[in-house]
Structure 1
Amino acid sequence: MTGKHVETLSIRGFAPRPHLGAAAHRRALGEHLRQCRIGANLTGKYAARRIGTSAPTVSRLEKGERTEHAGRHATALLGLCGITDRRELSHALSIAAQGERPDVWEPFGGSVARWVQPLLALEPAAQRIMSYEPQLVPGWLQTPEYAQLVMRAGFPDASQKEIEDRAAARVSRLKMFLRAQDPPALVAVMDEDVLRRPAGSPGVMYRQIEHLIALLKGDLRHRISLHIAPLSMGMTGAVGHPIVHLRFADALLSDFVYLEQSESARCVEGEGEAERYQSRIFSLSCMSHPADQTLTQLEDRLDELAVTLS
């Protein structure tokens, strides 16, 4: 039997926006379908049988994973839940169509490691990105030559072409902070030691710091908040691995956390654990130097490197 409160659920609050990426559209539609099915007191197995597909397909659809005939199955499921408003069904089809587009990382193909693909697919839709990086300059803010050194360290057997493609995929992410329509904000924390860790020749780090200074003085100064965690934090601030937390403006998209290891990553979603990681990054930012002091710290380090280069 169709639940009464299904009538109050609407997908029209989520507007199709190509710049958010296909994954965000799939996930928003999937969460809406899940809420409608649960509100209608229907099991996934029963719903799948009634709309002529399999229970795993319904499960993948609700999780925002790619499925064949997503639009057709979505509208059939909504109809089964008692939603017959043409505007609702048409809107769902529009979102499904956006979800069928290539994910933002796909143009780079094999240049993007499979474990980072979920992060790259979702971050364009974030309202706010929070990150902690203990060893490197945050990926969004790296120069191409710095990124190539990082990629070479991670993929020592890759060809130079592969290294350049991987680095290009990483640094291209900066563009989303520059877009005109609802760009995300970035709150990034990196360890002070990052600025002193050798990265190729001294000139590479010199140019990397110049790049950070230009970003913080330029058009992105109101979109990026960069904190430097002092070594004096000691073990209090030790985390040991990068953390990225995504917060979305749309209620149908739950928080997403990306925890990267050397050759893998773990993704955490929803409330609870995701909130704990958000609190962890927030605490690290509070223990770090204030963001308004970062420019001075970067300029001081640039002066030190200039002596080395002279």
Structure 2
Amino acid sequence: MAGQHTGIPSIRGFQPRPYLGAAAHRRALGEHLRRCRNSRGITGKAAARHIGTSGSTVSRLESGDRTENTGHHTAALLRVCGVADEGEVSHALSVAAEGERPDAWEAYGSYVARWVQPLLALEPAAQRIMSYEPQLVPGWLQTEEYAQLVIRAGFPDADQHEIEARARARASRLSLFERSQEPPVLVAVMDEDVLRRPVGSPGVMYRQIEHLIGILQGNLRHRIKLHIAPLAIGTMGAVGHPIVHLRFADALLTDFVYLEQSENARCVEGEGEAERYRSRINGLSAMANPAEQTLTLLEDRRDELARNRP
């Protein structure tokens, strides 16, 4: 690249794609800017001083958080780092512009819980989603009927309109895997006890299982792998809380882990700890029944519910 310092990273490998969501573009841009700055040995404070802003603004920009004047700060920071190639700067500004769009979770309206917003913002960009769920059917695979009852338990004071809106938002996430452009793959592990835990009337669980069977028999069967972990694995498989691990195809996006708790969640990023959780889900899937057996297990449980329905 004419006029550009040879040791400076390029962002051209990350192509702006609206369907990945704004958060992924902000994070990719932030990671690129951090790499450029580090390649020149410039501290965040020094970079901020050079471009006339605060150190916290540079930190937020590099973390993928929303900031004011993102395009201006991006261009200025790249100049400080010695990026002279106009095509490189223009590409970075295109990524920055995509990051200014609404985050993916905003399409669901104002009923999305604050702690789940980071997951909903980033999951459209995932190449692979790995999930462990000890108590419920994984959110992407829930029916609206099942979701309403689960949400009602968590938000007992919410009115019915809010409950229905939250349930629609949760059930609509299945469309992520139906996307024609770079859809993710889901590998989910669900405890066997989930199929026997009462959620509403027996008919609710019957219809939920029918929904799962339809997914595994339909067009998504090659994109969604559902493992059922038997109770026999005992404490070897005990985790106690849901885990979601996102892995991305783009090198500028590091692994992301979502750990849901009661009315809260913790998010983990990067290699170290995120890798530990990925390994944990891999271990759980290895101890669980093979995904090829899930359809039979679901059909057996559906038939058992049908025999016992009043």
Q: State the TM-score, normalized to the length of structure 1.
A: 0.97
Check the 8 A contact 1:178/1:220 in 2, yes or no: yes
Is the contact between residue 60 and residue 67 of structure 1 (CA under 8 Å) also seen in structure 2? yes
1:110, distance to aligned residue in structure 2 (A): 2.5
1:37 CA drift (Å):
0.5
The AA in structure 2 aligned to 1:197 is R
- Maintained 8 Å contact 1:237/1:284: yes
User: Would you say the 8 A contact 1:141–1:171 is kept in 2?
Assistant: yes
Partner residue, 1:223? 223
Whole-angstrom distance in 2 between the partners of 1:197 and 1:112 = 25
Question: Which amino acid in structure 2 is aligned with residue 228 of structure 1?
Answer: I
| Counterpart position of 2:111 | 111
Task: Show the counterpart of 2:136.
Answer: 136
Separation in structure 1 between the aligned mates of residue 242 and residue 248 of structure 2, nearest angstrom: 20
Q: Does 1:178 align with 2:197?
A: no
Report the equivalent of 1:6.
Answer: 7
Query: Which amino acid is 1:119 matched to?
Result: L
**Contact preservation (8 Å) 1:4, 1:40:** no
Confirm or deny that 1:206 pairs with 2:206.
yes
Task: Answer yes or no: is 1:286 the counterpart of 2:276.
Answer: no
CA distance in 1, matches of 2:96, 2:194: 42
Once the two structures are superposed, residues 223-275 of structure 1 have per-residue CA deviations (whole angstroms, 9 ceiling, x without a partner) of 00000000001111100000000000000000000000011000000011100
Amino acid in structure 2 at the alignment position of 1:241: H
Greater shift after overlay, 102-111 or 245-254? 102-111
Distance 2:84 2:76 in 1: 10
Aligned residue identity for 2:252? L
Name the CA distance, whole Å, in 1 between partners of 2:35 and 2:7.
8
How far apart in 2 are the matches of 1:56 and 1:172?
Answer: 36
1:6 CA drift (Å):
3.5
1:94-147 CA distance string (max 9 Å, x none): 100000000011132321111000000001100000000000000000000100
**Aligned structure 1 segments of 4 or more residues deviating by more than 6 angstroms:** none
Identity %: 75
Q: Aligned partners of 2:38 and 2:89: how far apart in 1?
A: 18
Query: What residue is the counterpart of 1:19 in the other structure?
Result: 19
Unaligned runs of 5+ in 1: none
- Measure, in 1, the Cα distance between the counterparts of 2:272 and 2:72: 34
| Counterpart secondary structure, 2:156 | coil
Q: CA deviation at 1:5?
A: 5.2
Note if 1:270 corresponds to 2:277.
no
How far the C-alpha of 1:86 sits from its partner, in A, is 0.9
Whether 1:194 and 2:174 are equivalent positions in the alignment is no
1:88 aligns with 2:88: yes
Q: Secondary structure at the match of 2:205?
A: helix
Instruction: Report the residue type matching 2:183 in the other structure.
Output: P
Amino acid of the residue matched to residue 99 of structure 1?
G
Query: Post-superposition shift, 1:308?
Result: 1.9
Question: How far does residue 38 in structure 1 lie from its aligned partner after superposition?
Answer: 0.8
Counterpart CA distance in 2 for 1:228 and 1:197 is 14
Output the amino acid matched with 1:196.
Answer: R
1:74 alignment counterpart = 74
Q: Structure 1, residues 81-101: CA drift from partner, whole Å, max 9, x if none?
A: 000111111101110000000
Query: Could you tell me how far apart the structure 2 residues matched to 1:52 and 1:165 are?
Result: 44
Offset at residue 41 of structure 1 (A): 1.1
* RMSD (Å) for aligned C-alpha atoms: 1.1
What is the count of residue pairs matched by the alignment?
A: 307
**Cα separation, 1, equivalents of 2:115 and 2:169:** 14
C-alpha distance in structure 2 between counterparts of 1:39 and 1:4, whole Å: 10
Q: Is the 8 A contact 1:6 1:81 kept in 2?
A: no
Q: Does 1:159 align with 2:159?
A: yes
Question: In 1, are the aligned partners of 2:5 and 2:82 still within 8 Å (CA)?
Answer: no
CA separation in 2, counterparts of 1:70 and 1:147?
38
Q: Please state whether the residue corresponding to 1:105 is helix, strand or coil.
A: helix
Alignment correspondent of 1:236: 236
Aligned-partner Cα distance in 2 for 1:280–1:47? 39
Q: Secondary structure at the match of 2:213?
A: helix
Question: What amino acid does structure 2 have at the position aligned with 1:187?
Answer: V
Q: State the Cα deviation string for residues 17-36 of structure 1 (Å, max 9, x = none).
A: 00000000000000000000
The whole-number CA distance in structure 2 between the counterparts of 1:242 and 1:67 is 31
Q: 1:167, 1:64 → 2: CA distance?
A: 29
Bigger mean CA offset, 52-61 vs 105-114: 105-114
Contact 1:248 1:254 in 2 (8 A): yes
Aligned amino acid, residue 11 of structure 2: I
Partners of 2:7 and 2:36 lie apart in 1 by 6
